[in-house]
Structure 1
């Protein structure tokens, strides 16, 4: 609530327009918090982060690229502490959303072309007079940064698999690959995380966000990031055609011919680096932080890597590295990370109840019995705040409070880990019923929010049937 008040003050210093609504946008992989500000005539995005260095980098890059004519958000206001800034709102629809909605259609292909053309302009023209000392970490994605990405993959993904390997030989291979790629012919601004989730689509145009991790680097890295994004699952035909289109765009911007054969050979090396960096990120966020979204993505990333290993060549011999890569893309290991999915024939129904401890724990009337009862009373109670007393865990204000001011996210992550084990086993064994109960003092705020969150999690991850029952909803003013 304090953050929202600070955002309101900052916005009022920029505009006299009355705020109609302000709400938090769900976070993804970063620790930054985003809020949408709505007025009667326009929308804005407010970003909050305590990472001042990262904020300063984003603000500098935004101003520089805006002046270069790149499709990036304009910055309208910055707090004195540089912890909050207000920027242009490109909406909620990403290129990934459009791809998932419309598939690999001509319309979507045209959006990929627009994105790649704008990327080539940003990379090359945006490189002019850019102060790379403003970068968050490295100024350039050279040999040291490449090895850092490879070690990130090693520590957070490869080592978790406990596959024996020769450490010295592997490090030698890392060094050889990094040396080979550090001599890329064309080095300009490298977006670093250029994926369809960071390309917003508005009025059939593409706009870029989340480029604060950028640095000087090879042109090929960003193209690899976009075309080989596991979640996108682009066809081989699209990947090849779009790469050719991008190389033509580069030639047009540079106004000179490039060695496309060499460019593509180096591109394959950066595809491998990007695939491994993503697996490292999934390992860290999923296997260590236990965030469900990243765990689900691991099999997709491994299958992406498997196709690459079987069909592409980097152009340099890496014996120990290649041996290990072959092992981690074996079907047995990929299946270990695969989430079992319910089908139309799956008999399991998960019953999720929110309840008040004043009325006692719900009785399980199924033949199966068992299940879980989770006590939400250890979480701060929104019901003690006057403005929320007549609201419930379904209301946006209460959701924002629980997500921002309490330990509810950590509480739910632990519950997901526990419940996922049972749901996986119950689907395999054709069990009919699993009951999960969330209780709090009044059965109105915390338990309702937690029940809704778990229901979404199970539907998204397992596609399982869920029956949700808020047992005290009749007492709410709806």
Structure 2
């Protein structure tokens, strides 16, 4: 399939450039299903794009042609063959705003702040001039960020994040809250162009100027949504002071007649739905499709949500949504932003009935050891309300030779992996121990391996008994 796509793109490139293609290189995959190739000849270069979604292709080309006429910094369409779902666009290079921010951390430089301000100024042009000239009949899947669109985003969050994290909710009550929240958001002025994914990965930098891509999901909607998308992009992790400074810069761009209080009233609620939508995407792309950078972004999103809920004020009642959002902020993840240098061991005990713990480092699951063949203290009345950390349970398990043999075999497997991971400068390794309830045998094994690792290696250990809140500790 890819060979066929490449051949078709080469033919399209050569028809456009009137030169023979000298190279075609597939670019690293992005979060979408689009496939990009950089194609070069002696004197010309272009990006070749394949995307099987015909409506998104038509929207992107239509919007791009309009933006080119408006002199916006968006890619020119060089050629297209939509019957084959391929087209050629201008190549702005590989440096995006996100990579610059990642290198600088939370406290970005004044030079990078200037880039953000240029982006916000360009955004206002998209929102206002774009709204006057675009053909909104090309928008997909909806012509505006309407109630249906908002409900879809909230359901995305519900099914791909809440359910994957096993956060319980009342389906009907949550549906009522989704509708109430959507109605509240739609009270904001909806007469602007919404880029829909206006974030630093979609902003390329060339000669200290921003260039914009991936707006095929654009539609009519409010000003607030895209500002929230940029300033609260969770992995960019801007500090609150920088967000505030940049927000104020954007507000100064608005016409004098703009009701700033009305803008702010709906701004942070739009931040909230954007975070919900992003968590849904991370659940689908990361937890289900297993794409590493989406998994690694989840802790940042949860941290941002926690900050937001402490600030957010809305004059509506959404009790079930508020309850599940609070549950989300209580989830614990290992986050790269506070990570110490060197190898980190993520050591977990878990219950098989609830599944193997997710590895949020993006490095894969690591070791999973099944402790269910070991003698089960949980079956004995005197140990049922104790855990693998209690002396009586420890003594009981230590009486059995198979427990010692198992511990020895685990060490024999884990030890060489740790040496090699450190030698190759890997940053994360997960070791999971599972049993029926995640209370006795798996806890005992995790605690023992924790003590062994602390005395044998120089590394960081994050010990997590995933079922701790569910331990049966009283009659």
Please show how residues 58-457 of structure 1 align to structure 2 within 5 Å.
58-79=60-81, 81-103=83-105, 104-251=108-255, 256-330=256-330, 333-335=331-333, 343-344=341-342, 417-419=364-366, 431-434=414-417
Where does residue 350 of structure 2 map in the other structure? Answer: none
CA–CA separation in structure 1 for the residues paired with 2:344 and 2:134: 57
Residue aligned with 1:216, SS: strand
Query: Deviations for 1:161-193, whole angstroms, at most 9, x for unmatched residues?
Result: 223333222211111110011111252110001
Contact persistence 1:296–1:339 (CA under 8 A): no
Cα deviation digits, residues 91-131 of structure 1 (max 9, x gap)? 00001011122440000000000001001001110111322
Structure 2 counterpart SS, 1:189: strand
Matching of residue 6 in structure 1 with residue 8 in structure 2: yes
Unaligned runs of 5+ in 1: 349-414, 438-453, 464-478
Counterpart of 2:88 in 1: which secondary structure? strand
**Residues 462 and 211 of structure 1: is their aligned pair in 2 closer, same or farther, counting only changes over 3 Å?**
farther
Of 230-239 and 152-161, deviating more is 152-161
1:44-63 to 2 correspondence within 5 Å? Answer: 44-63=46-65
Answer with 1 or 2: which has the greater Rg. 2
CA gap of 1:107–1:47, structure 2 versus 1, over 3 A, is: same
For residue 460 of structure 1, report the CA deviation from its aligned partner.
6.8
**19, 28, 33: which one pairs with 1:26?**
28
- 3-state DSSP class of the match of 1:157? helix
Task: Please give the secondary structure, in 2, of the residue aligned with 1:64.
Answer: helix
Shift of 1:133: 1.4
Residues 322, 60 of structure 1: CA spacing in aligned structure 2 closer, same or farther, 3 A cutoff? same
Aligned with 2:294: secondary structure? Answer: helix
Assess, with a 3 A threshold, how the Cα gap between structure 1 residues 338 and 102 changes in structure 2: closer, same or farther.
closer
2: CA distance, partners of 1:436 / 1:60: 55
- The alpha carbon displacement at 1:435 in A equals 9.2
Question: What are structure 2's unaligned runs of at least 5 residues?
Answer: 347-361, 370-406, 431-475
Secondary structure of the equivalent of 1:8?
Answer: helix
In the alignment, is the contact (CA less than 8 A) between 1:341 and 1:461 conserved in 2? no
2: distance between equivalents of 1:184 and 1:420? 50
Deviation at 1:314, TM superposition (A): 3.5
- TM (norm. structure 2) is 0.72
CA distance in 2, matches of 1:8, 1:436: 47
Distance 1:436 1:130, change over 3 A: farther
